[in-house]
A and B are shown apart, each in its own frame.
Chain A
Amino acid sequence: AQTVTQSQPEMSVQEAETVTLSCTYDTSESDYYLFWYKQPPSRQMILVIRQEAYKQQNATENRFSVNFQKAAKSFSLKISDSQLGDAAMYFCALTSGTYKYIFGTGTRLKVLA
């Protein structure tokens, strides 16, 4: 069975600082995809970043980047220059050749002014 674990229920960061959200996963598949989703108070889920497991290069999207450690099955999200609008729930997700995504339980990020 595939699992996704987010061990940090809540994190805080000062505005303009950098924060890293952790995610570990387990799968026996060799070909899979990992995602980070953001869910602001409006509740609409937004795709932040996507990583293909066969690519060694870490994905980046503007201020968002990942640290993908395949051997350790770790997929952390780094947010640089944090902004008030980054405050949200962040979910890590995994899929491997199926229509179903496995989501973690989420990390609530607070951004302090």
Chain B
Amino acid sequence: SQTIHQWPATLVQPVGSPLSLECTVEGTSNPNLYWYRQAAGRGLQLLFYSVGIGQISSEVPQNLSASRPQDRQFILSSKKLLLSDSGFYLCAWNLDRDYGYTFGSGTRLTVV
């Protein structure tokens, strides 16, 4: 069966520090991969998605970036975190974009 792993679960980082969140999917090949951010009291905002290795589409081109170095690995990065980057980050995957997402367990990021 397919599983999605996301880590770390929680992270507290100072302003200006770098960020790396990792997501991996097991049990499938060539998944579509997504990074969403959930701010308090708001819905989910799509940050990046990828339909293949090395292919990244950006929806919110701020100080965040994403990479897909391997078929089932998706990484969210930042060189310098801002206070506004605080939030709950969710990784997700699917094979068919019309059939819904399977989400990871999320990372709570607090920038201090």
Give A contacts to B, CB under 8 Å: 4, 33, 35, 42-47, 50, 52, 91, 95, 97-106
Q: Which B residues touch A100, using CB under 8 A?
A: 46, 49, 59
Contacting residues, chain A, for B51 (C-beta < 8 A): 99
Establish whether residues A99 and B57, one from each chain, have CB atoms under 8 Å apart when the complex forms. Answer: yes
Cβ < 8 Å to A, chain B residues 16-64:
32, 34, 41-44, 46, 49, 51, 57, 59
B60, chain A: closest CB distance, angstroms: 11
Tell me how far the C-beta of A31 lies from the nearest C-beta in chain B, rounded to whole angstroms: 9
Given contacts A99-B32, A105-B43, contact A50 B99 (CB under 8 A): yes
List 15 interface pairs A-B (beta carbons < 8 Å), by A numbering: A33-B98, A33-B100, A44-B105, A45-B90, A47-B102, A50-B99, A91-B43, A98-B97, A99-B32, A99-B49, A100-B49, A102-B43, A103-B44, A105-B41, A106-B43
Residue numbers in A under 8 Å from B97 (CB-CB): 95, 98-99
Kindly identify which residue among A44, A52, A105 contacts B103, using a CB–CB cutoff of 8 Å.
A44
In angstroms, Cα B99 to Cα A98, docked, is 12
Q: Which residue of A lies closest to B45 (CB)?
A: A103
Which residues of chain B have C-beta atoms less than 8 A from A46's C-beta?
103
Residues of A within 8 A of B104 (CB): 44
